[in-house]
Amino acid sequence: MGVWIEFRCENRSNPSAAGPSRGRCESHENNGPMEMARETNDGVLDALRCLGNEARKSGWKRTRYGWICAYCAAQPTVLTELKASWEESVDE
């Protein structure tokens, strides 16, 4: 049995992620990097490295708030929205 790992866009719940089908956050389409890892620490670490490389190649960006998909990374308000969401979650 393995460990399923999938990157989800941190911006997926913010207004800039919405859009028509095919023109919206990749996590709404279940279209992000995903992989099955071996059930060992090394297996999970290897899978995470591969996912990070795959994500970067397909336009995903890693921010201080987490990974964001290529669609959301291109939105002008994304970092402002992520910062606000992050601050709200810290205050709770």
Q: Measured between alpha carbons, how far is 52 from 62 in angstroms, rounded to an integer?
A: 9
Q: Where are the domains of the chain?
A: 3-91
pLDDT at 2: 92
Instruction: With beta carbons less than 8 A apart as the criterion, state whether 32 and 17 touch.
Output: no
* Cα(70)–Cα(17) distance, integer angstroms: 11
Largest CA distance in the chain: 41
Q: What is the pTM of this model?
A: 0.80
Distance CA 49, CA 46 (A): 5
Q: What was the pLDDT predicted at 49?
A: 96
User: Strands, DSSP E only, in the chain?
Assistant: 3-6, 34-37, 61-63, 66-68
Query: Residue-wise pLDDT tens for the chain (92 aa)?
Result: 899 999 999 999 888 888 776 689 999 888 899 999 999 999 999 999 999 999 999 999 999 889 999 999 998 888 888 888 877 776 65
